Structure formats: C-alpha cells, structure tokens
Amino acid sequence: MTAKPKVWVSRPLFPDVLARLAEHFDVDAEAVEHRHSADELKRKLAGVDGAVVGLADRIDAAVLEGNTRLKVVANLGVGYNNLDLDALTRAGIVASNTPDVLNESVADYAWALMLAAARRVSAAERWLRAGQWPGSNMRFDDWLGLPVHGRTLGILGMGRIGQGIARRAAGFDMRVLYHNRSRLPEMVERECQATLVSKSELLRQVDYLVLVLPFTPENRHAIGAPELAQMKPSAVLVNIARGGIVDDAALALALREGKLAAAGLDVFEGEPMVHPDLLTLDNAVLSPHIASASEETRRAMANLAADNVIAALGFGEAAGKPPTALNPAVLIRGSAHKA
C-alpha cells in the first residue's frame, strides 16, 4: 500500500473538517494557535504535499525555496495578500482562497461596525461596565450618536461583499454610492440601488464609507491624510478589508482632531498590533479581524479550503479541479502533480 500524501494544517480547525482531510491524507494539524516564523513555515512545508494556512502565514519565495514536494496551499480567507502568488505559480504549486462563502457574514459585520460606531455602542458599554451610570445624572442629551437611516452610504471596492452591504442599505432608506475599478453591470447596480462615482466624489459626499478593497501595493494607504481631509467631519469610516489600506496613524489623528466623527475597524496595519492612538480613542470601535466569524461561515471556509486540497491532490469528485484555485494555469500545465 502506498503511503497517504501528507497535509499540514497550520491552525486548529473544526474536527469534522480535519476528519474529511484524514480520509485521504496523513494530517498534521496544529493543536494550538501559533504565529509561525518563516523558518518554521519553510520546514513544515518542505515535508508535506499540501497545506491549509491562515492569513498570518506568509508564504513567499524564500519560504518555498528548494521545496520540491508541496503541490497545494489552501488559504483560509478570501484575501490572499499573505501569499506570493507569483512565487507559488513559478514553483508549480496550486494556491486557493475562500471566496463567496463569507460574503453575507462579512456584509452583516460591516453593518455591525457602522451602527456601533454611529451610535457609540462600545464607548457606552465601557462606561456602563465601569459602573458610571449610577450617580452620573445621565442627561437627556448625553450619548448622542449619528443617524444612519436616510444618510448616504459609500462603498469603496464593489465586489460581492460590497454588493451585499449595498443591498442591506435599502432597509435603512439610504442613498448608495460606490467606486470601483470597473462599473457594475446595470442589473447589479439596479439590485444594489447603487451609483458609480469617482473616488473623490465618494469621499466628499458620503456619511458612511465602507472599505472592501483587496490589499495590493497600489491600495496601500488608499485612505490616508489627503483622502480623510476630503471627507465630511461628520462621516464614519469602516474598514473590514485589510490593514494597510488605511493609514492608521492619519486616521487616529483625524478622529482625535474631530476631522472625522467615528470609525469601525476590524483590520489594522501591522495587526495583531494596533496603532496605540486608536486604542485611546472612544470614537473608534475596534475588533480583532472577525468579520467572517460566524459558525456557519467559518465552517464553510474551512470546508472549502479542504475541498481545494482534496481536489488538488487528485482525490474526491472534483479531483484535479480545485474549486477556487487562484492560479489554475498551474493545473493546466500539470505541474501541480510533481513526482
């Protein structure tokens, strides 16, 4: 009997998903969360045929150097700026991500941050938990927040998640503007009741700006001091995309100086570290990169990553056709099936 291919899973994962992998593979799954160094990644990946990795695992040319065994890397996330796709493709390794299954959960979460930032939910809760309500003589005009209904929502990056955020805006009777590399088909624009505008129009007109861009070198600091200066001082910024798309230092300054009313942030430049100034601001609602974290969605993401590994290594109904490969050219060339 030939030995089963080996698969490394870099983070603890749902046991039933690991069991699916174990039907085909000899699985080495990390039992505790741990940030892997480049050396550790290199060593782990050298001894396996496939890997399921998290967003904190940076898979680049140096990590892949000399690796002649690895055939597939499945990323647990839709964003894949932690993968050097060119390096993976050059090495003949299939890479995959987890698109679509998280769209609705992430769209829900964008609204959670928008509403919480507008209505000061986190700051009010901190105040209550600190025991400050009794004896405070809280006034009728304390804790005033910003209205959401009837205002203008802007979406920068109008993929499926952005469209989900836009569709929800109808319930709040909002006007929706968007900016994107390309215009959406008319039918989709109609469904989302969204209008394409230039980036500077978007910045100037909206009351709520939600960022849903992929992180690319061009998108680094897409929202920095010059962009923040174009926004209304009463506006709210929500980043559920990636750290580094916003210049967090410039954002903290704008929030402190009242040049922007509030922010809801799920992602940070250099996370898990958070800019210290953001931590001191009551008008910033902060969460630890959890926009996709509903049970149903995280399971769907884990299963999709497993589907990709199983198919890329030649097993299951989709053998040879990983459903969400990012570099399918590797499969066409057949180089994913190294001896």
- What positions carry a catalytic annotation? 242, 271, 289
CB of 99 to ligand GLV, least distance (A): 9
Listed residue (267, 217, 335, 287) closest to 77, CA to CA? 267
Q: Bridge partners of 265?
A: 239, 286
159 lines the binding site for ligand GLV (CB under 6 A): no
Listed residue (66, 117, 76) closest to 96, CA to CA? 76
Q: Is the dihedral of CA 106, 109, 115, 116 positive or negative?
A: negative
163 lines the binding site for ligand GLV (CB under 6 A): no
Which part of the chain contacts ligand GLV (CB under 6 A), choosing from 34-42, 75-83, 180-188, 216-224? Answer: 75-83
Q: Which two three-digit tokens encode residue 43?
A: 């060593």
Is 287 or 327 the residue whose CB approaches ligand GLV more closely?
A: 287
158 with 194: CB under 8 angstroms? yes
Interface with ligand GLV: number of residues (CB under 6 A): 5
Is 72 or 301 the residue whose CB approaches ligand GLV more closely?
A: 301
In angstroms, the Cα distances linking 18 to 27, 61, 114, 272, 308 are: 8, 28, 35, 26, 13
Backbone angles phi, psi at 233, to 5 degrees: -65, -20
Assign 112 to helix, strand or coil. Answer: helix
H or E segment to which residue 7 belongs: strand 6-9
DSSP letter at 140 equals: T
What does the alpha-carbon distance between residue 157 and residue 220 come to, in Å, rounded to a whole number? 14
Q: Which two three-digit tokens encode residue 298?
A: 């995280």
214 lines the binding site for ligand GLV (CB under 6 A): no
Q: Single out the residue of 10, 292, 308, 324 in contact with ligand GLV (rule: CB under 6 A).
A: 292
287 lines the binding site for ligand GLV (CB under 6 A): no
Who contacts 291 (Cβ-Cβ below 8 Å, separation ≥6)?
102, 105, 106, 109, 110, 240, 266
Binders of ligand GLV in range 183-202 (CB under 6 A): none
155 lines the binding site for ligand GLV (CB under 6 A): no
CB of 7 to ligand GLV, least distance (A): 20
Is 25 or 268 the residue whose CB approaches ligand GLV more closely?
A: 268
What does the alpha-carbon distance between residue 70 and residue 67 come to, in Å, rounded to a whole number? 6
Q: Which two three-digit tokens encode residue 115?
A: 């509403």
244 lines the binding site for ligand GLV (CB under 6 A): no
Backbone angles phi, psi at 143, to 5 degrees: 55, 35
Q: Single out the residue of 6, 28, 79, 249 in contact with ligand GLV (rule: CB under 6 A).
A: 79
Which part of the chain contacts ligand GLV (CB under 6 A), choosing from 11-19, 25-33, 62-70, 73-81? Answer: 73-81
291 with 109: CB under 8 angstroms? yes
What does the alpha-carbon distance between residue 52 and residue 286 come to, in Å, rounded to a whole number? 28
User: 84-123 mask for ligand GLV (x: CB under 6 A)?
Assistant: ------------------x---------------------
Which part of the chain contacts ligand GLV (CB under 6 A), choosing from 19-27, 71-79, 143-151, 175-183? Answer: 71-79
Q: Which two three-digit tokens encode residue 9?
A: 């899973």
Is 79 or 145 the residue whose CB approaches ligand GLV more closely?
A: 79
Q: Single out the residue of 27, 41, 63, 78 in contact with ligand GLV (rule: CB under 6 A).
A: 78
CB of 77 to ligand GLV, least distance (A): 3
Is 17 or 78 the residue whose CB approaches ligand GLV more closely?
A: 78
CB of 1 to ligand GLV, least distance (A): 38
Residues that bind ligand GLV (CB under 6 A): 77-79, 102, 292
